[in-house]
Structure 1
């Protein structure tokens, strides 16, 4: 009999557990600090409106990985869904990502795709040959006007610092489309679970050899890790080592809940790019389930702030000081036997749902005890 300990019941831990449980000789214990499974993907029905809520903010499943797409559909029906994000800037509403409609509307033009390519190329700061930060990367590609309108204020609110302090890698590619495609994602497969994300985790963990302990904080010194054949850790990397090299910095978000009759904003997600508006975006959750009908609505204003001790970490900042600490923690990880660190928090990198699932599937494939 093999005994496994998994820390965290989000996608990383749940995929590992589901795969290991296929072997009846494996016994899996999951420790989850929160009072529910599913991590930040947790969904539940609002008691007042019966609308399915993405409790920790919007999640739209999207991927180019057919293996991941097929895997997740074992546990749910994914309804096709296109995320069309809008952005408010100086009392005007634009489509994101920046596309041909955005360009023509913003500059008051009627450019065709080729004309728009030439026009945008002329706006870029060609003196920046090797962008060293987020701001330089944006200015190099799209110029000052579009950068100030759609990136500067929003990014400053989201990350809590000047964009020039952020790495250029955040903008990995030209954030512009030269057609009228306003699909926020460019991936091949996109959808939302018909009954919410929580159902996926319930089905994944529905095995007699999986035991889930909720409201249970993992503290390495409190558990005899050596009594398990292997430990899979998906919690914060710095917390595992009791912050011996200092805390890694994250941004977190919090929400202001509001109710209204009918339809509040006519779209699932609208960003607010002006720096003077304190929230980053508003999401109206009835629009994530357009196959349902609701007379009332619920929407959330989303705010970003630094992660404090009692907050849920969301986005790793990965500033220069963080990367120095990360290197020290990674050295500690390499000293450990029979422990695998995986997922966004345990590896301190931003990962979408499909990245997390793919990583967990690969780890199980290559795992030997």
Structure 2
């Protein structure tokens, strides 16, 4: 009798792998410790306001990967949505990412693109030839004034560390534009699933051969009952934290409701110390095609993740990667288990990358099964 496939976690990683394997003829059981599917992308209607709420904080879909965009559009109608973030610092409102409007407003100028580019270059610290830290990177490319206004304090609130403790690579993800484009992302495809992410995941899982067990934890001791296990939980938890707990940041949300339009925008960042929270998100603006008389908002607070918290952002400092290396070593020796997703590989992944890697993982498994080869513990190297 053929053993079933076990998948731990009903987020995008688990759902996509489950569907692909079920369509190939496998029986798949998904074990989800929470009372719902879709992981941290879970969304649901608020009973009081009717607003579609991103329960674990906002998720905006953006990608350049054709295969992924085509895949998610099979299961949901994606509505146009452009993320236009505003930032409040020193009692003024600006546009993020930093663009020509931000620069002109902040410095009281009317620069054209080339002028702004030359001006910003003149502010950069040329003595920093090879930026190592977040602060180095900011001072080198945007100068002290913009760094302190938009990045320094926000970074401390978000990561709980000084920018001198964080790698320069974090800031490399934040673009500076010398035009008036205020689209936070620059991907070809951007949008929101019309009925929310949970509906999207539900439709991905709607295939013969998949059984979902909610409110059910999977014990690693059960692995021998299955032909293979795909694990999207925290990699350190699989090994009972034998090498110590990998550090994450988690989020607390202060939810409040109001009438009308509270802030006029989906996301406003608070970049100075006037408030302890990092941003306020107004969820009805994530569904601009809907109309609601009332509104629901999240104040977002970041802190160190404790044992019973939901992990959000892997920190991945140098010492953490050394710890991760030890987990990767034992994981590679674990038979018939593949570690996937943000938590399983201890990497920050956007939704589109998560889906793309899940599709690649399913492809790899089917190829290994056909060739009677061993399925690796990682399809994507978490140390890369």
Between the aligned partners of 1:289 and 1:160, the Cα distance in structure 2 is 31
Q: Contact conserved, 1:31 with 1:214, CA < 8 A, in 2?
A: yes
Root mean square deviation of aligned Cα: 1.0
Match in the other structure for 1:348: 346
1:357 is aligned, of 339, 355, 358, to 355
Post-superposition shift, 1:23?
2.2
Query: Residues 12, 296 of structure 1: CA spacing in aligned structure 2 closer, same or farther, 3 A cutoff?
Result: same
Between the aligned partners of 1:124 and 1:16, the Cα distance in structure 2 is 46
Match in the other structure for 1:323: 321
Matched, 1:304 2:320: no
Between the aligned partners of 1:57 and 1:115, the Cα distance in structure 2 is 38
Q: Contact conserved, 2:235 with 2:343, CA < 8 A, in 1?
A: yes
Unaligned runs of at least 5 residues, structure 1: none
Q: Contact conserved, 2:136 with 2:164, CA < 8 A, in 1?
A: yes
Match in the other structure for 1:203: 203
Between the aligned partners of 1:218 and 1:174, the Cα distance in structure 2 is 38
Count of aligned pairs between the two proteins: 366
Between the aligned partners of 2:193 and 2:174, the Cα distance in structure 1 is 30
Match in the other structure for 2:131: 131
Q: Contact conserved, 1:51 with 1:285, CA < 8 A, in 2?
A: yes
TM-score (norm 2): 0.94
Between the aligned partners of 1:116 and 1:179, the Cα distance in structure 2 is 9
Q: Could you list the runs of 4 or more consecutive aligned residues of structure 1 that deviate by over 3 angstroms after TM superposition? A: none
1:158 aligned counterpart, secondary structure: helix
Structure 1 residues 255-270: aligned runs within 5 Å = 255-270=253-268
Match in the other structure for 1:217: 217
Between the aligned partners of 2:173 and 2:328, the Cα distance in structure 1 is 28
Q: Contact conserved, 1:156 with 1:275, CA < 8 A, in 2?
A: no
Write the deviation string for residues 190-226 of structure 1: whole angstroms up to 9, x where unpaired. Answer: 00001111111111111231111111122213x1x12
Match in the other structure for 1:57: 57
Structure 1 residues 102-181: aligned runs within 5 Å = 102-172=102-172, 175-181=175-181
Match in the other structure for 2:81: 81
Between the aligned partners of 1:226 and 1:261, the Cα distance in structure 2 is 54
Between the aligned partners of 1:2 and 1:178, the Cα distance in structure 2 is 57
2:23 aligned counterpart, secondary structure: coil
